[in-house]
């Protein structure tokens, strides 16, 4: 979309930081139906292991099954949920569903999301959103920035589009072009 990032040198030597130029949340917010698609994909991934475990337990010969496949399916499902909904977003800002739909979790200013924000969003915000009967998620369809309850709590938002990291000269030219208008 139109969010552009410029690499600049930070105060500490050897580290860089991204400065988001022209970030307008209303222009890059993820559409509600796309967020629903990402959520559906994540839900299907998490439930695939328990469903497969139940089916294998029910339809395979009992002598063939060496261990309780149904319980193993639930364990694998829980590990998939932890990985997909907490660990992947910690490192990339995306679950598998968000990756496949091209959406990403960012801070409200467009910067990369921190571990604490992801943990608040997913471990506190998601359960509260579910406790409201998913009204906390539907809220994202009716506000300008597309924020759900868990986004409000964590100071995050879901955007659609890729960030373009411009070279320093190009970013400076772009910034001067914008300020001259």
Predicted pLDDT of residue 8: 47
**What is the percent of the chain with per-residue pLDDT over 70, rounded to a whole number?**
70
Name which of 3-7, 57-61, 115-119, 176-180 the model is least confident about.
Answer: 3-7
- Angle between helix axes 69-82 and 32-59 (nearest 10 degrees) is 160
- The pLDDT value given to residue 90: 87
Structure-model confidence comparison of residues 69 and 153, the more confident one: 153
Contacts of residue 29, Cβ cutoff 8 Å, sequence gap at least 6? 144, 145, 146, 157, 158, 159, 160
Q: Which uninterrupted H or E stretch holds 41?
A: helix 32-59
Q: What is the mean pLDDT of the chain?
A: 78
């Amino acid at each position: 979309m139109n969010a552009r990032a410029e690499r600049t040198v930070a105060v500490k030597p050897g580290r860089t930081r991204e400065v988001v130029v022209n970030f307008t949340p209303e222009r890059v917010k993820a559409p509600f139906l796309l967020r629903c698609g990402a959520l559906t994909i994540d839900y299907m991934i998490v439930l695939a292991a328990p469903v497969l475990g139940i089916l294998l337990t029910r339809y395979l010969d009992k002598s063939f099954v060496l261990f309780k496949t149904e319980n193993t399916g639930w364990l694998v499902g829980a590990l998939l949920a932890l990985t997909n909904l907490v660990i992947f977003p910690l490192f990339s800002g995306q679950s598998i569903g968000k990756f496949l739909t091209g959406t990403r979790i960012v801070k409200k200013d467009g910067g990369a999301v921190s571990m604490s924000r992801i943990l608040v969003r997913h471990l506190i915000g998601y359960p509260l959103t579910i406790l409201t009967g998913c009204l906390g998620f539907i809220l994202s369809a009716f506000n300008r920035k597309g924020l759900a309850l868990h986004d409000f709590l964590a100071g995050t938002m879901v955007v659609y589009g890729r960030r373009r990291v411009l070279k320093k000269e190009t970013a400076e030219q772009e910034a001067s072009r914008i300020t001259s208008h």
